[in-house]
Amino acid sequence: MARLKFLDSYVFRLALGYTAMVVSVISLVFIFSYAAADQLLEKEMRAAISAESDALARRYKTAAGEAAGEQNLSLALAEILPIMHARDEAREEAIYQLYRPAADGAPARKLADGAFKTDLLQYGQPNDYGWIRALLPPSESSGAGGPHVRQVIALYTPLDSSLALVVGRDRNQHRRVKDTLFRMMLSGLGVTTALGLVGGAVAAQRMMRRVERARRAAQDIMTGDLKRRLPLVGYDDELERLTITLNQMLDRIERLVEAMREVTDDVAHDLRTPLTRLRARAERALQAPSAAEPDLRAALEECVQEADRLLAVFRAILSIARLKTQRGVSAEHPEIDLSQAVADAAELYEPVLEEAGFALKLDIAPDLRVRGERALIGQAVANLIENALHYGRPPESSGRAPEVTLKLARRGDRAEISVSDRGPGVPPDKREAVFSRFSRLDPSRAEEGVGLGLAFVRAVAESHGGSSRIEDAGPGARVVVALPAPQAPA
């Protein structure tokens, strides 16, 4: 079947179809022009015949004058025969004959002829205009091309009551011209067909190669190699554009699958440990030999606390995964008052910060609006403040007073929310890592917090089409969330 692979190619079938169409158009043109050429040639032939007949008849009438009878024949022969013979020598297929017209029941009789001897009137009769068309059996002397049926056209011109002139031509004379024409057209058709088929096959082959490569890549992706992409060839054609779009689709799918896998990984990794702890605590309480009620109560309380922590982690994992997989904030999203949202979050946390000994400094630009979810942005700001609260306390030795600065400002076409503390800061090489899930700078504090705060912040920023980063607040850390906030047209 491999040899017939072309027939399975859409492109080849397309080329085949085009070729067939072109060939039929060319054939039609050919048929029409062949017929037109034939007609033109016959017209010219008739014109020549009738001009010759006229000339010969005029010559006969001048010579014959008022004479009549047998004398006429000899006169005619003397006048016409030399011319006829002269012409015969030039053109073998020319017909020159003299007849005695049919009269009183006697058939027409040939009186004299040139090189062409056949009695033409036996094969055809003149029509109303004197034209005779006749098909003659092949004769050996019929020139090039071998013996074939000869088609003859001739003009019958009465000279007087007893004499008629027949001048004609063998139509086969034109056969050579027409044969050449026919051959040319036929080879033209052949070349067209061949080019169409070869071109189609080449195009099909190239197309098949590209499609086949893409198909193989797709198959690899399907069987699990999600990193694989469809190959590009480097021309900006429609197939390439399709491939680019497909690759973008694959990128998106890969991100989604990645996010899903993160969830399962996180569930496996970060829920298993606290679950084990929870289980162990309950088990220990059960096995204690003297299970006094206060002890059991304390154990149960611990279990509930552990369960609550677990649920908090679980919820955080889910919200991050959801933010990553969901359709983000789009142009249709309603605008919210970002200044108000940030101020609300600050207001919620101000007492907690104060109680923990932190001074809260606010620098919130008024009337900044962005497209987005107030709840998500509020939660992100809350996470940033909690983060500063947990990790932003200045080291005892520094002598700095604890302080959190919450700032909202426009910077170009972005609205930047930043929360700075005066704590130990984040070393430059860790500034990206803190945004990943479950990262804590100090492993000894692994018990505190969930470590998902900044991961959530980043997920919120990205779902709004924004970004997040950590800077040196000199001293301390500054986490910046930049959200798209197009300038209102003036």
Of 35-43, 94-102, 351-359, 397-405, the segment contacting another protein by CB under 8 A is: 351-359
Contact 480, 427 (CB under 8 A): no
Of 181-189, 218-226, 425-433, 449-457, the segment contacting another protein by CB under 8 A is: 449-457
Nearer residue to another protein within complex by CB, 52 or 373: 373
Total interface residues for another protein by CB under 8 A: 25
Question: What's phi and psi for 231, nearest 5 deg?
Answer: -70, 145
Q: Which of residues 214-253 bind another protein (CB under 8 A)?
A: none
Q: In the bound complex, what is the minimum distance in angstroms from residue 348's beta carbon to another protein? A: 5
- CB-based burial label for 431 (10 Å; 0-12, 13-18, 19+): middle
Of 36-44, 54-62, 243-251, 342-350, the segment contacting another protein by CB under 8 A is: 342-350
Q: In the bound complex, what is the minimum distance in angstroms from residue 452's beta carbon to another protein? A: 10
Tell me which of 329, 419, 450, 477 binds another protein, using CB under 8 A: 450
352 belongs to the binding site for another protein (CB under 8 A): yes
Q: In the bound complex, what is the minimum distance in angstroms from residue 481's beta carbon to another protein? A: 17
Tell me which of 348, 359, 401, 409 binds another protein, using CB under 8 A: 348
355 belongs to the binding site for another protein (CB under 8 A): yes
Nearer residue to another protein within complex by CB, 94 or 454: 454
Nearer residue to another protein within complex by CB, 36 or 375: 375
Q: Which of residues 36-65 bind another protein (CB under 8 A)?
A: none
Nearer residue to another protein within complex by CB, 251 or 354: 354
Q: In the bound complex, what is the minimum distance in angstroms from residue 274's beta carbon to another protein? A: 15
Tell me which of 315, 333, 411, 445 binds another protein, using CB under 8 A: 315
308 belongs to the binding site for another protein (CB under 8 A): yes
Q: Which of residues 364-403 bind another protein (CB under 8 A)?
A: 373-375, 378-379, 382, 386, 389
Tell me which of 101, 199, 424, 449 binds another protein, using CB under 8 A: 449
Q: What gap in Å lies between CA 464 and CA 374, rounded to an integer? A: 11
Binding mask 256-295 for another protein (x = CB under 8 A): ----------------------------------------
Tell me which of 237, 347, 413, 432 binds another protein, using CB under 8 A: 347
State the residues that interact with another protein by CB under 8 A.
308, 311-312, 315, 318, 322, 344, 347-349, 351-352, 354-355, 373-375, 378-379, 382, 386, 389, 449-450, 453
